[in-house]
Structure 1
Amino acid sequence: MSLEIENLRIYYQTLRGDVKAVDNLSFKVENGEIMGLAGESGCGKSTLSNSLILLKPPMKYVSGNVTIDDEPLPIHDFKGMNKFRYKKVSIIPQYAMNALNPTQKIGKLISDLLENHGTSFSTMEKEIKERFKIVELKEAVLDMYPMELSGGMKQRVVMVISTLLNPSLLLADEITSALDVSTQKAVSRMIVEFRNRGFVKSVIFVTHDVSVLYQIADSIMIMYAGKQVERASTETIVKKPLHPYTKLLISSLPEVGIKYSENPLKGIPGNPPELLTPPNGCRFRSRCPLAYEKCMEEPPLVEVMPNHYVACWKVENAND
């Protein structure tokens, strides 16, 4: 087991009260697994990924347990996390192209990271150059400043830096959102390559674009308003989703070779709930075409089929 999360709550402190961004979340990521994490903006997916490596105000840990490689991960302890960052858990941030210090050359950035974790550039120089080759970067990049690199090159540099210490878990947070389609595919394939080569044990790939996950993920977890609503294999989520929200999310995606006139895209009516004061019961009920009285109660996450989990009263009671 690479990662296990139990009843995790991560809120945002505001003057009006706590925003319940991640609310009682539990799931596991196995060694070797690439798990996609999808949902609308504001559903809590980036909050989750950031809390697992760098939880800082206004984010706050409320409750829950996180274990990585059978060892507790003290996400609530900023200093205590220092020995885990980059070694056990690492991240390619959402704005990776702006994450590099513009005043330092790439080689210096890498050297500083390695020294902070008890090793040196000279010790790992051969490995660094080998990984640059894998992501199709020339050695000359080590002597360049970030401003001299294209967006795609900076993205690949961050990928190398984030995985140099072979972390157990890599968090890839919306890393394809600012890239053109061809670069998106290249970066996604590199994530798979890094997993296959053992540079990382497992990956949580955060995105709002399920079509990207269909290419690389083994499983997908769908979040809505801070909650997990469905989790299953990628093929199941894309081809046989059960939760009403997942179905609407999938139906909003364009299909290759299908004309709009033949199958118009469908939007999801309404807006997500306010997470300062989330509604009782199912948080999707105000937008759900299947909502009924029972939805005033919060549905539990149930394994409706092997490795297929859904939080929906209609789905749970479908065979009653």
Structure 2
Amino acid sequence: MRENILEVKNLKAYYDILKGQVKAVDNVTFNLKNGEILGLAGESGCGKSTLASSFISRKKPLKYISGDVDLVGHKIMEMDESEFKKLRLRTISLIPQYALDAFSPTKKIKTYIADLAREQGVKTDKAFFDKVKERLDLVNLDESVLNRYSIELSGGMKQRVIMVISTILDPEFLIADEITSALDVSSQRFVATMLANLRDLEIIKSAIFITHDLSILYQIADRIMIMYAGNFAEIGPTDEIVDNPRHPYTRSLIDSLPKVGIQYKDKKLAGIDGTPPHLLNIGEGCRFRERCPYAIDKCEETPPREQVAEDHYVSCWRWKELGSDLSGKK
């Protein structure tokens, strides 16, 4: 068995616009292990969803620039659309950011599922829909939803139907892009937990869970990768990232989260001063430097990716000397 489902090396994917190139994903390197859920976090506009799009669609104005992406032996950046179509829903699948708007209002759920399956050459017979009904039961939905229109379903129900559709052919790699952002708190927890259950039941092998909410990732992710302004900032085991962050941006994200048992009167949440840089024709250097309280002249140069510990990497010039300042361990 392969150790890694996905291996990404120096990936660059830019948006071509009239004024130049927006470097939304710029020289990103990481891997996804077999059987792993990798959390991908960062502020809005950091490149999380663009990274997902570079794997699954790359529609204009998004343009693949360079780098290598190996998905279970498939060099997907080198594949044309007809080749890649054969991998969809089987090898790679996506729950998109705006999944709740994906349904056709004029089709019943059963028809919608059947149309998608036939596009992939799947026979939509009784055995297929028996499998669909089993998966609906798995996500606590009655089979009667198959005969409903999407407008008859709540947001949480739609999200669970989309999870069933995206995993009905047991994909090896699933991308879940902000799948909890439009849901209430109880639905968020159910959907996030269900993603982990799908992995544990081996319905999917591995997944990337994209969100801006580190508190959700702490519940289900094996590792967390932090992105900032199109760049890699830090990646490591979840406990390490939360308890012992090595990048100032990771520390700032954690400090912005409310803590259980701590009231506002005792400790106020810490925001991050400033705004992210514009990614249009952005130059060299650490992209967090203008907002970083620890920035020095050296930060005008792009920091290398360095190993902190096993499976823990960071891109920061000062991570060694800052030590306890970032981890919170004095």
C-alpha separation in 2, matches of 1:281 and 1:76: 33
Counterpart residue number, 2:191: 187
Is 1:110 the counterpart of 2:113? The answer is yes
1:165-213 per-residue CA deviation (whole Å, 9 max, x = no partner) reads 1111110000101100000000001101111111111010000000010
**Residue matched to 1:256:** 260
> Which aligned pairs between 1:1-320 and structure 2 lie closer than 5 A?
1-74=4-77, 77-122=80-125, 123-316=127-320
Q: How big is each residue's C-alpha offset from its partner over 1:88-128, in whole Å with a ceiling of 9 and x where there is no partner?
A: 11111111111111111111111112212222221312211
What's the CA shift for 1:281? 1.0
- Could you tell me which amino acid in structure 2 is paired with residue 306 of structure 1? E
Mapped contact 1:110–1:121 kept (Cα < 8 A): no
Query: How far 1:28 sits from its partner (Å)?
Result: 0.3
1:79: Cα distance to partner?
A: 3.2
What TM-score, normalized to structure 1? 0.97
Maintained 8 Å contact 1:75/1:81: no
Give the aligned residue type for 1:109: Y
| Root mean square deviation of aligned Cα | 1.3
Cα distance in 2 between the residues matched to 1:86 and 1:107: 17
Contact 1:171 1:203 in 2 (8 A): yes
In structure 1, C-alpha distance between the alignment counterparts of 2:141 and 2:23, rounded to whole Å: 41
Q: Is this contact kept in 2: 1:2–1:29, CA < 8 A?
A: yes
Contact 1:45/1:223 (CA < 8 Å) preserved in 2? Answer: yes
Percent of aligned positions that are identical? 53
SS at match of 2:56: coil
Any idea what SS the aligned residue of 1:299 has?
coil
Contact 1:74-1:80 at 8 Å conserved across structures: no
Contact 1:55 1:78 in 2 (8 A): no
Give me the TM-score of the superposition, normalised by structure 2: 0.94
Deviation above 2 Å: which 4+ runs of structure 1? 74-80, 316-319
Q: Secondary structure at the match of 1:9?
A: strand
Secondary structure at the counterpart of residue 215 of structure 1: helix
The aligned amino acid for 2:294 is: L
Letter in 1 for 2:57: L
- Structure 1 unaligned residues grouped into runs of 5+: none
SS at match of 1:119: coil
SS across alignment from 2:318: helix
Give the whole-Å Cα distance in 1 for the aligned partners of 2:267 and 2:84.
Answer: 49
> 1:241 & 1:16 partners in 2: Cα distance?
36
Whole-angstrom distance in 2 between the partners of 1:177 and 1:259: 25
Deviation, 1:71, is 2.1
The count of corresponding residues between Structure 1 and Structure 2 is: 319
With over 3 angstroms needed to count, the CA separation of the structure-2 counterparts of 1:159 and 1:75, relative to structure 1, is: farther
Instruction: Report the Cα distance in structure 1 between the residues aligned to 2:11 and 2:314, rounded to whole angstroms.
Output: 18
- AA matched with 2:172: S
Deviates more, 1:69-78 or 1:36-45: 69-78
Contact 1:55–1:75 (8 Å) recurs in 2: no
**Cα offsets for 1:247-267 (capped at 9, x unmatched):** 011000001110011111001
